[in-house]
Structure 1
Amino acid sequence: MISRYIYTLVLHLLLPSILVRLWFRGRRAPAYRQRWTERLGFTPPLVSSTAPLWIHAVSVGEVQAVATLVRRFLQQHPEIPVLITTMTPTGADRVRQLFGDQVSHRYCPYDLPWAMSRFINITRPRACVIVETELWPNFLRQCQRQQIPTLLANARLSERSARGYARFAGLTRDMLSRLSRVAVQDHSDAERFKALGLDPDRLKVIGSIKFDVEINPQWAEDAQQLRQHWGAARPVFLAASTHDVEESQLLASLPELLAAYPDVLIVLVPRHPERFDTVAQLCQESGLSHVRRSQSALPIATTQVYLADTMGELMSFCSAADIVFVGGSLIERGGHNPLEPALLGKPIITGLHTFNFAAITQGLASAGALVQVSNTKP
């Protein structure tokens, strides 16, 4: 199909700038410069000669979403290796934290035909599970060419994303035709996929696997230790998975919150580790008393902001907090998963931009467990 050829040509033309951008991202997050050849399909062979189940989870959120599924698969099929690919180092770190050496991790190649072909020839997966809506034309074509069944799991498609795919209708229909099965989160997602051309016979509504989160007893133990340091009676407000601009808005609004609750501790958890130093500078410029977890500093009674600039501890912080703001929602990012703090019984605040989790957000709001706000004013 001509649309895919044009897409592939454009991607090849952009490849030098993509690699340069990767290198510059490595200035703030050195992990982006590590194993970079894997992004071109030069991936190390797997230890086992048995064909693995390949799970593609683009970053942290997708890895977390599929964690329960992976654990159950490992228990029920210990003879089948699992290969998980991500696109980000934070996703890679989360794979290691959750599964250690129980699974293999590789970076997924860029969507170039020769890179994807080389990757598949080396890893030889028996099937591929793509988490949520990570659709790439050459990825799917190479899987089909090498007779690798593909399942799009926990699929979601917001109205905004559907409009974007519809602009490239021919390319989108071609991609959807190569999927073996699509398991969507709800009926609204299903209707959008069908409108884009997906065969209804390959579509099934199963709900969100993000409801399958298992409570880890370690979170409560960690939370108890955190509260001993923070102050057992002190109110704690957690701003989780925040993005650029959101931290500035939150920090600007905190004097009013502190005027109403002088002893409140704000725990700030930026979404991306390469922004930790930037957010630390924002805290410095705000004039608020703050400490950084990465420097092993503990908050004292006068500390107002605790910058949680570490990875893999978010659920422990959620467990220790009294109220949770879920980031990515004050800007048009679409929000992050509010189910995790809800699972722990925490009151939740989000912004209005929650299209990534529209049904979940609406359900929690209807149950009185979540409040949406248009700005950061207390």
Structure 2
Amino acid sequence: MWLAQPLLRRKLARRGAAEPVYLQAVQERFGYYDAPSGAGFIWLHAVSLGETRTAAILIKQLRQRLPGMRLLLTNGTATGRAEGAGLLQPGDIQVWQPWDTPGAVQRFLQHFKPRIGVLLETEVWPNLAAACRQAGVPLVLANARLSEKSLRNALRLAWIAKPAYRSLAAVWAQTEIGAQRLRQLGAPVSAVFGNLKFDAAPDAAQIAQGKAWRAACGRPVILLASSREGEEAQFLQILQSIRAEAQAVHTQVATESIANKVQWLIVPRHPQRFEEVAALIERHGLSVSRRSAWASQPQAADVWLGDSLGEMALYYGLADVALLGGSFEPLGGQNLIEAAACGCPVVMGPSTFNFAQAARLAEAAGAARRADSMAVALQTALALTRDAPGRTAMAERGTGFAAAHRGAADKTAAAVVALLGS
């Protein structure tokens, strides 16, 4: 890790060309800080955007239980840091996650002297775990998950992975299956609390705005939500063939699409890809209207592009049906819980290992449907646009499914407070 530092600096410089936040406070990543030193922080680490939004749910509960709490928030990505800035209160501090070398980690711990460290979901680093244990800082893994693939990879590096997991003070898993996998690595799993994401409350005003725009549009809206690399190309290629009716395999889709006059909407997962996806849409011969250019309402175009952050509730309110991004490439899927909580029917692809139990439960509850390819998913979505009772039933089952699994935030916050008092 020490030898790899020049590679990290080079990577930050590359990413900083597109996202200047990566060029801010670079020395923080190596344990050198302009922020004042202190003691008694409640430290949460949320690597990226999704984890930071999850952290917000837990932070709210912790502030209720620990009045006057001073938050130390660490992030690893530009989107995570930008989102996290909105969670800070006077006295809180936000810095980059320290690069996992003994020196950087020790400087981080000596500078801030946290009372406890809470890592979210998967972020276990060997030097960080060892240094916290040596310094007497209880380090826990909350909302913990581990896929079968990640377990196999960790077991191949068991000589370094197992000591890291054994160094944790506690692990609170999302699912019992995840807990079993974590225990194979020596993790001290003390409870299964469920998924913190169920406790997120969608923005009602955004949902209402989206529904109003959908009604004004006058035609069904199909959303590709939180799309990842390769998925937009699949989606657009099928749309292109729909328009041209050139490929016989998509004839049925084409006929249905023309009959329904569908409005297509794409919301990429990562903001650094907004320009790339806009150009991709145009290369497929389709016109594009970007959310950033909308004033009072969406502008007419073949494809709407959701190029904004923090508005997924608006996009789910705008859509009749959502195709789950990250599930049509072998990427494990994105968060389908948010779509369900917003009352948006979901069609997911074959790859959902990041949300395996949630996907399974959503499908069983009737809140989501499974498709084995993007083409089949589009056929399913188009069929749903003609089935108002079916969409209504899926929406109701989605909100019911999301509500039924809440409670992880309260349990996790209580466990953190208990550990502080032990």
Q: TM-score of the superposition, structure 2-length normalised?
A: 0.81
Which of 278, 281, 291 is equivalent to 1:283? 281
**Native 8 Å contact 2:105 2:127 kept in 1:** yes
Aligned mates of 1:267, 1:339 — CA distance in 2: 19
- Whether contact under 8 Å (1:57, 1:131) holds in the other structure is yes
Give the match's secondary structure for 2:183. helix
Match in the other structure for 1:293: 291
The one-character-per-residue Cα deviations of 1:99-150 (angstroms, maximum 9, x if unpaired) are 5768432110111111111112212211011101111001111211211111
Instruction: Verify the 8 A CA contact 2:207 2:313 in the aligned structure 1.
Output: no
- 1:260 aligned partner: 256
Question: How far is the alpha carbon of 1:342 from its aligned partner?
Answer: 0.5
Residue 43 of structure 1 corresponds to 33
Contact 1:258 1:264 in 2 (8 A): no
8 Å Cα contact 1:60/1:91 also seen in 2: yes
Contact 1:45 1:122 in 2 (8 A): no
**Residue 219 of structure 1: SS of its match in structure 2?**
helix
SS in 2 for 1:328: coil
| Contact 2:213-2:298 at 8 Å conserved across structures | no
Structure 2 contact 207–342 (Cα < 8 Å) conserved: no
Structure 2 distance, partners of 1:309, 1:196, is 40
SS of 2:3's equivalent in the other structure is: helix
Please list the CA deviations of residues 173-193 of structure 1 after superposition, one character each: whole Å capped at 9, or x if unmatched: 211121000001111111111
> Any unmatched runs of 5+ in structure 2?
243-252, 379-422
Q: Which amino acid aligns with 1:171?
A: I
Aligned position for 2:125: 136
In 1: Cα distance, 2:222 partner to 2:83 partner: 24
> Is the Cα contact below 8 Å between 2:116 and 2:138 reproduced in 1?
yes
1:95 paired residue number: 84
**How much has 1:45 moved relative to structure 2?**
2.2
Q: CA contact under 8 A between 2:214 and 2:221: conserved in structure 1?
A: no
Q: Which amino acid aligns with 1:26?
A: G
Q: 1:216 aligns with which of 189, 203, 222?
A: 203
CA deviations on 1:204-263 (whole Å, 9 max, x unpaired) are: 2121122212233332343245446xx253211121111111111111112425652343
Aligned with residue 53 of structure 1, among 42, 50, 54:
42
The one-letter code matched in structure 2 to 1:93 is: A
Q: Report the secondary structure of 1:319's partner residue.
A: helix
Q: For structure 1, which runs of at least 5 residues remain unmatched after alignment? A: 1-10
Give the whole-Å Cα distance in 2 for the aligned partners of 1:167 and 1:296. 50
- The 5 A counterparts of 1:179-198 are 179-198=168-187
CA contact (8 A) 2:41 2:70 kept: yes
Pairs within 5 Å for 1:152-171: 152-171=141-160
Question: Counterpart in 2 of 1:71?
Answer: 60
- Choose between structure 1 and 2 for higher RCO, CA contacts under 8 A separated by at least 6 residues: 2
Q: Is the 8 A contact 1:97 1:312 kept in 2?
A: no
Q: Tell me the TM-score normalized by structure 1.
A: 0.90
* Equivalent position of 2:6 in the other structure: 16
Distance (whole Å) between structure 2 residues aligned to residue 323 and residue 12 of structure 1: 47
Q: Is contact 1:29–1:273 with CA below 8 Å preserved after alignment?
A: no
Distance in 1 (CA, whole Å) between partners of 2:330 and 2:167 is 30
On the 8 A contact 1:50/1:80 being kept in 2, the answer is: no
C-alpha distance in structure 1 between counterparts of 2:299 and 2:209, whole Å: 18
Q: CA deviation at 1:156?
A: 0.7
- RMSD over aligned Cα, in angstroms? 2.0
The AA in structure 2 aligned to 1:174 is: P
- Taking a change above 3 Å as real, the CA distance of residues 99 and 304 of structure 1, as seen in their structure-2 partners, is farther
Paired amino acid for 1:307 = L
CA distance in 2, matches of 1:36, 1:26: 11
For residues 258 and 33 of structure 1, the distance between their equivalents in structure 2, rounded to whole angstroms, comes to: 46
What residue identity is the alignment partner of 1:33?
A: L
Q: Quick one: percent identity of the two aligned structures?
A: 35
